Structure 1
Amino acid sequence: MTEATPATLWAWFDRTAARHPDEPALEAAGTVLTYGELRRAAEHVAARLVAAHGSAPRRVSVMATRSVAVLAAYLAGQRLGATVTPVNPGFPAERNRMIVELSGAEVLVADAADAVQLDGGLAGAVPTELRLDSAEVTAAGRAADTAAPGLPAYAAGPDDVAYVLFTSGSTGRPKGVPIRHRNLGPYLAHNIARYGIGPGCRTSHTFDLTFDPSVFDLFVTWGGGATLVVPGRAELLSPVDYIADHAITHWFSVPSVVSISAQLGNLPAGRATSLRSSVFIGEQLSYDQARAWHAVAPGAAIENVYGPTELTVACTEFALPADPRRWPATSNDTVPVGPVYPFLDHLVLDEDGRPADEGELVVRGSQRFDGYLDPADDRGRFLSHDERGTLPYDGDGPLTAEHYYRTGDRVRREDGGLVHLGRLDNQVKIRGYRVELGEIEAALRRHPDIDQAVVVALGRGDETELVGCLTGAPVEPQPLVRWLRKRLPVHMVPRRFRHLDTLPLNPNGKIDRPRITADLQTPDLAAAGPADGNGGHHGASR
């Protein structure tokens, strides 16, 4: 008889703690806690939350640092059946206050060593504040095995909201994404089995708690019985040293970690001998990045996965063959992201809402969330599709399980897999031609002197101007334009370029396109001149 899947995040962790109480669950800042100790630490914090608040809070916010105290607090919120909302201490206090208020948090928990905002912009934002000391939390976990006083019976169920994360909203107000425990169960079960997570495995923790791949870090690890190895702040600058020094077996990060490490000279070949599995998420994984990582850990499998927060961390996966000579070629030199998980439904729809080999990816199924915290944000983000056609969801009527979530990402079916082409909002019109910025970026990356490339579209009066931002060896604009014109239609060739030592990253480790766009408003761009001799634009529309 098949064992039932745990119904909640706490149940996943608690089942492992009951099975493997003496296995190491967490290593952080020189501290090692077993599963039994981490459970006692979490219950100790949960009891403190109840005592400080006067009752069990239903909504808890945590200052998202990678300390024993905060990780125990995250688990404590789950033990109480609360919805947990992390906020990043590196974000502006004004934005964090907005998130805390939108989430309805009753308690805000912080490591005492990272509580500056509680004395500043977050002062008074919630009814109850709790500052924790990691040493005290560790000591409580290692204390005699006695029940924490004042804890209510555990009562959360699959339909309760496990956490709310906030994504950027087009109006300037962050959008809250509530994920229920029932959305998480299929994701955790699938990934624990796929990557063979169990006692003896040692997993990385590269993601901030405000970025949903951290749910993989924590609960795929703890659901399977592995050890979460928390890096120090400086260790992620040298990821291969972190892997080698801590015998990491399973790695999960954004691809930009590879590029930044290569630029810093921190990718020594063949050193990551402990690594068995490497998984990348968050942005396109280029074949250059994959080859560089394969040289670091030639014995480790490399997978590329994709998914928006609204579809519970990831909903697609693609494993590269062990032999790089068998890696499939793609139209934009990036590793495929798909297929979609077999237990989810998906379509690829063209601009007219018809199934196609290229278009927007839409997904429904067990991992799809039930709608944004503010239902007004649901308009235009879902659609229904049947034999009668496609109908966008306008907010009228109920949002049902039959509705697909619109990812806003363009994909193409290539050799049976899905290749990520870029965001729909990275598609622009130039002189009436439809242009995919990702296609231009892919062409630029093929230049022998260019490592990374981002192309942005700037409004110049009534015109749209393409600007390429490049890393690698400096390239003279005019020769680069001539090189590109052999590979792209004239209207797709940027007129201006800027060379950067590195591309700026946002706090989640993704390339920070809004910052690049803002920086490009300054006039010190390297001008390439008109894309052709007379300044005209010619060529066929795609």
Structure 2
Amino acid sequence: MTGECSPALYEFFLRGLAKSPGRAAFRAGADTLTYDQVYRLALLWGGALPRTSPAVGVLAAKGTVSYVGILAGLFAGVTVVPLQPDFPAARTRQMIEAAGVSALIVDERGRKIAEELLGEGMDVAVLAPDTDPIDHGLALPRPRPVEADDIAYVLFTSGSTGTPKGVPITHGNTAHYFRFLAGRYDFTSGDVFSQTFDLTFDCAMFDLFCAWGAGATSVAVPPHAYRNLPRFLAEQGITVWFSTPSAISMVRRTGGLGGAAMPFLRWSFFAGEALKVADATDWQRAAPASVLENLYGPTELTITIVGHRWSQETSPGLGVNGLSPIGFVNDGHDHLLLDDEGRPTGTEGELWITGPQTTPGYLDPEHDHGRFVEREGRVWYNTGDRVRRAANGELVYLGRGDAQVQVQGWRVELAEIDHAVRGCDGVEDAVTVSTTADDATALVVFYTGAPAPPARFAAQLRRTLPAGLIPRHYHHLDELPLNPNRKVDRAGLRARATELVG
């Protein structure tokens, strides 16, 4: 049974269906489907999935196959695993195996990858709705019921050993999150949402289900739109924008932040990276009617868990090191700031959070150590981020307390890059550090062994790393420098990286 008391993530789509059956649920290039059309297709595809499948992978680019495919899996009551067709096949295979995927919904590009995996002996059923007709007698009569503890979808984050870490997000996690957002924002069926995030990135779920819960339209934003973003947004009628802060620099470089260039925006959201005060100020001037929020949240805490509503008058004064505050923790959650000794502190420390958005832990329990920690009878998630409490009680992001960085919105363990580079021909050892170049995070690799040109590294790393995680800068050393404790001098290497590319 479905309804207001159901925890199912798909309930938010059903609300939109009830409000706007004939309205476009999404637009992605030439693909446009109404809520009613999406609903019927999702029931059909969901019914065509194997009844015994515990998880379905959606291996498709943004468009009808991916959007309807996600709903089809949810309607079928199984776990959905979004997969990126542009990722290396070996990485996709790791994700499929880790999540227990036994069926794939694919578009044309995804089908080619699926055929490659099948040729390597992988046993998965493949549904290619673009090309393979589906018997309409298989359609589900209605979405299957689910429980709050059932897993809605699995996303993967970077892993230190080169193996991605699976994060299962339950229907209960998403039910709390989207109900909280529904009370915070005034989205309506007249809104049009940007859909900038890759579907393997958790913020894409915000793009889709906030729009669908309101009966609004979600519009996929293609890369070429950034050449003149104000014009694209105006043509598409977009009223709600959400992206990583890196988009602000891109729009600035193309002259899109001049004057009140985006007066039609009602809401502007940024997450996935630290938001600079200067960037927020410039965007707000370009979108003067927009309410701007800086959102924060690791995948393990269900999309976003902390939010700050920007004020041109007060926010800059609350920032630290030129960064905007991240705000207050979502209602219903508790948080701690812990010092270096693990003791609670009221002012500055490592951020730990517990509450209904905290996911159950990683697919592999061995990854939980140090991240999902039981304390005082509750399971807390240790974000690894250092924050400071401002005078008004809001939190301000200071930086990572470990070897993770954020690149294009992705939280990346530098050890994963090290691991991949050490697998390249002729490399003896490697250390990756991050610095800033052109207002973006740049990865710089220092390595020992046989010198090689960057192109050779890039060619080999494409086999294991997504394109956005492949470093551009490689510097050969006879040996890695050590600090007085005889550990690799990462601080020294970071300083050197800044000199080389900053």
TMscore range, shorter length: 0.7 to 0.9
Note the C-alpha offset of 1:180: 0.5
Cα displacement (A) at 1:19: 3.9
> Helix, strand or coil: the match of 1:172?
coil
Seen in structure 2, the aligned counterparts of structure 1 residues 37 and 241 have a Cα distance that, compared at 3 Å, is: same
* Corresponding residue for residue 23 of structure 1: 23
Specify the alignment match of 1:347 in structure 2. Answer: 336
Secondary structure, aligned partner of 2:326: coil
Out of 305, 328, 334, the residue aligned to residue 323 of structure 2 is 334
The amino acid of 2:352's aligned partner reads V
Q: Does 1:421 align with 2:398?
A: yes
Code of the residue aligned with 1:303 in structure 2: it is E
**2:369 paired with 1:379:** yes
Q: Work out whether 1:57 is the aligned partner of 2:53.
A: yes
Residue of structure 1 aligned with 2:130, choices 129, 133, 146: 133
Output the CA distance in 1 between the equivalents of 2:169 and 2:261. Answer: 38
Aligned letter for 1:205?
Answer: Q
Q: Is the 8 A contact 1:108 1:126 kept in 2?
A: no
SS in 1 for 2:153: strand
The reply to whether residue 410 of structure 1 matches residue 369 of structure 2 is no
Paired residue secondary structure (1:360)? strand
Q: How far, CA to CA, are the matches of 2:70 and 2:468 in structure 1?
A: 31
Specify which of 80, 83, 86 is matched with residue 79 of structure 2. 83
> Structure 2: how far apart are the matches of 1:153 and 1:383?
35
Separation in 2, partners of 1:271, 1:136: 46
Structure 1 gaps of 5+ residues are 141-145, 387-399, 428-436, 439-455, 473-503, 524-542
Deviations along 1:86-113, one digit per CA (max 9) or x if unpaired, are 1111111110111111111010111125
Matching residue of 1:358: 348
2:437 paired residue among 470, 475, 480: 470
Alpha-carbon distance between aligned partners in 1 of 2:31 and 2:158, rounded to the nearest angstrom = 35
> Residue 75 of structure 2 contacts residue 143 of structure 2 at CA under 8 Å; is this kept in 1?
no
Contact (CA 8 Å) 1:5, 1:185: kept in 2 or not? no
CA distance in structure 2 between the partners assigned to 1:14 and 1:220 by the alignment: 12
Partner residue of 2:36? Answer: 36
Structure 2: segments with no counterpart, 5+ residues: 407-413, 419-430, 440-457, 478-502
Q: Which has the larger radius of gyration?
A: 1
Instruction: After TM superposition, list the pairs within 5 Å mapping 1:143-158 onto structure 2.
Output: 149=139, 154-158=144-148
CA contact under 8 A between 2:102 and 2:125: conserved in structure 1?
yes
Tell which deviates more after alignment, 373-382 or 15-24.
Answer: 15-24
Find the aligned partners of 1:86 and 1:466 in 2 and give their Cα distance. 29
Distance 2:223 2:245 in 1: 18
| Residues 253 and 465 (structure 1), Cα distance of their counterparts in 2 relative to 1, 3 Å cut | closer
The aligned residue for residue 13 of structure 1 is 13
8 Å contact 2:333–2:355 — kept in the other structure? yes
**Residue-by-residue CA offset, 1:426-464 (whole Å, 9 max, x unaligned):** 59xxxxxxxxx99xxxxxxxxxxxxxxxxx99x9xxxx9
Q: How far apart, in 1, do the equivalents of 2:111 and 2:100 lie?
A: 20
In the alignment, does 2:57 pair up with 1:67? no
Letter in 1 for 2:437: L
Q: What is the rounded CA distance, in whole Å, between the counterparts of 1:100 and 1:169 in structure 2?
A: 15
Matched, 1:227 2:194: no
SS of the aligned residue for 1:328 comes to helix
Distance 2:335 2:85 in 1: 36
Distance (Å, rounded) in 2 between the aligned partners of 1:465 and 1:60? 34
* Aligned AA (1:349): L
Partner of 1:161: 151
Task: Output the TM-score relative to the length of structure 1.
Answer: 0.72
2:9 & 2:203 partners in 1: Cα distance? 15
Query: Which residue does the alignment assign to 1:273?
Result: 263
Greater RCO, 1 or 2 (C-alpha within 8 Å, sep 6+):
2
Q: 475, 482, 500: which one pairs with 1:521?
A: 475
* C-alpha distance in 2 between matches for 1:467 and 1:383: 28
Write the mapping of 1:80-479 to structure 2, written as runs, cut at 5 A: 80-121=76-117, 123=119, 124-133=121-130, 149=139, 154-321=144-311, 323-324=312-313, 327-356=316-345, 357-386=347-376, 402-415=378-391, 416-425=393-402, 469-471=436-438
Inter-partner Cα distance in structure 2 for 1:27 and 1:270 = 26
Query: Displacement, 1:467?
Result: 8.2
Deviations 1:499-536 (A, max 9, x none): xxxxx9xx9xxxx99655x724258xxxxxxxxxxxxx
Shift of 1:292: 2.2
- SS of 2:402's partner is helix
Structure 2: distance between partners of 1:291 and 1:110: 41
Distance 2:298 2:304 in 1: 7
Residue in 1 that maps onto 2:46:
46
Is the CA contact (8 Å cut-off) linking 1:64 and 1:209 kept in structure 2?
Answer: no
Give yes or no for contact 2:45–2:139 (8 Å, CA) kept in 1.
no
1:271 Cα deviation after fit: 2.4
TM-score by length of 2: 0.78
Give yes or no for contact 1:64–1:89 (8 Å, CA) kept in 2.
yes
Change (3 A) 1:135 1:104: closer
1:482: which partner in 2?
Answer: none
**Distance of 1:36 and 1:152 partners within structure 2:** 13
What amino acid does structure 2 have at the position aligned with 1:46? G
The verdict on how the C-alpha distance between 1:20 and 1:5 changes in structure 2, with shifts beyond 3 A counting, is farther
Q: What is the alpha-carbon distance in structure 2 between the residues aligned to residue 120 and residue 43 of structure 1?
A: 28
Contact kept? 1:64, 1:210, Cα under 8 Å: no
Determine the C-alpha separation between the residues in 1 that align with 2:132 and 2:432. 55
- Deviation at 1:343? 1.2
State the alpha-carbon separation in 1 of the partners of residues 98 and 212 from structure 2: 29
Deviation at 1:64, TM superposition (A): 4.0
| CA RMSD in angstroms, aligned pairs only | 3.5
Count residues with an aligned counterpart: 431
CA distance in 2, matches of 1:268, 1:221: 28
Partner of 1:367, secondary structure, is coil
